Amino acid sequence: MMERPMSRFMNDTNSIMGLTLSQIGLFLATGILLTAVFFLVFSSDWQRTAEIRSFASSFSHLVEDIDSSFFEKTTRFQFPSKNYAYTVKLSTGYIVISAKGFWDTDLFVTERFLIQPWLRSSYQNWTTGEDLHEYLNITCGHCGKKDDSIPTINFTQLYQEQNTTISLFALYPLEILIREPVFLEKVSIFYDGEKKHDFLLVYQLI
């Protein structure tokens, strides 16, 4: 009986099995490598997000702490330097911190303020609490301290100025320079005799 030409190849399965095992090994190695890469990327992005969330939370809690103090107080806050770039933007309602992920993905966290700070920038007519007292003394002849209160009409104008600032920074959040400290200051303004209103100022001295 004549042997079929292809029978000897069909009976020899060693070469086919060897090729199959090689392919399986290659697939497994590739799968393990891809898993390791994705784990590294996910772990890196997760850690970076956790870090910027911690920055936002720390700042937000400090805003609450300064606001709840019973006396005027100024505190300095420094955002930490990292081996990656990140941005911090403030409105009177939120702090938003963003950074780039491992593969240029956008990472960002938002923390809401329970109270509304009064953001001040260097291009405005006053910045610090002492600047505010001097500004009031120039504009209405009284500095707004306990022994030199301002008239009610001037306080109303000041309060309206704060509301205007709130609207401004709601549309155009204030970008913080990471390398420079941020100051949080609680300042008391006295008006109409012994009435008092506390403002929480947030600014950078640049």
Query: Does residue 130 lie within any of the structural domains?
Result: yes
Query: Does residue 110 lie within any of the structural domains?
Result: yes
Q: Any residues with CB less than 8 A from the CB of 102 and at least 6 apart, and which?
A: 40, 41, 44, 45
Number of domains within the chain: 1
Query: Does residue 31 lie within any of the structural domains?
Result: no
DSSP string over the chain: -PPPTTHHHHH--HHHHHHHHHHHHHHHHHHHHHHHHHHHHHHHHHHHHHHHHHHHHHHHHHHHHHHH-SS-EEEEE-PPP-SS-EEEEE-SSEEEEEEE-TTS-EEEEEEE-SS--EE--TTSS--SHHHHHHHHHHHHS---BTTBPBPHHHHHHHHHHHHHHHHHHHHSPEEE-TTS-EEEEEEEEEETTTEEEEEEEEE---
Token readout for 96 is 């938003």
Query: Does residue 131 lie within any of the structural domains?
Result: yes
Domain ranges, residue 103: 36-203
Looking at residue 5, what is its pLDDT?
53
Distance CA 148, CA 60 (A): 33
Query: Does residue 189 lie within any of the structural domains?
Result: yes
Looking at residue 28, what is its pLDDT?
56
Q: What is the mean pLDDT of residues 135-146?
A: 95
Rounded to the nearest integer, the mean pLDDT of the chain is: 85
Query: Does residue 120 lie within any of the structural domains?
Result: yes
Query: Does residue 196 lie within any of the structural domains?
Result: yes
Query: Does residue 89 lie within any of the structural domains?
Result: yes
Does pLDDT of 92 surpass 70?
A: yes
Looking at residue 189, what is its pLDDT?
97
**Is 38 or 173 the better-scoring residue by pLDDT?**
173
Q: What is the mean pLDDT of residues 82-95?
A: 94
pLDDT, tens digit, for every residue of 50-75?
999 999 999 999 999 999 998 999 99
Query: What phi and psi, each to the nearest 5 degrees, are found at residue 104?
Result: 65, 25
**Is 12 or 159 the better-scoring residue by pLDDT?**
159
pLDDT, tens digit, for every residue of 95-138?
999 999 877 788 999 999 999 999 998 888 899 999 999 999 99
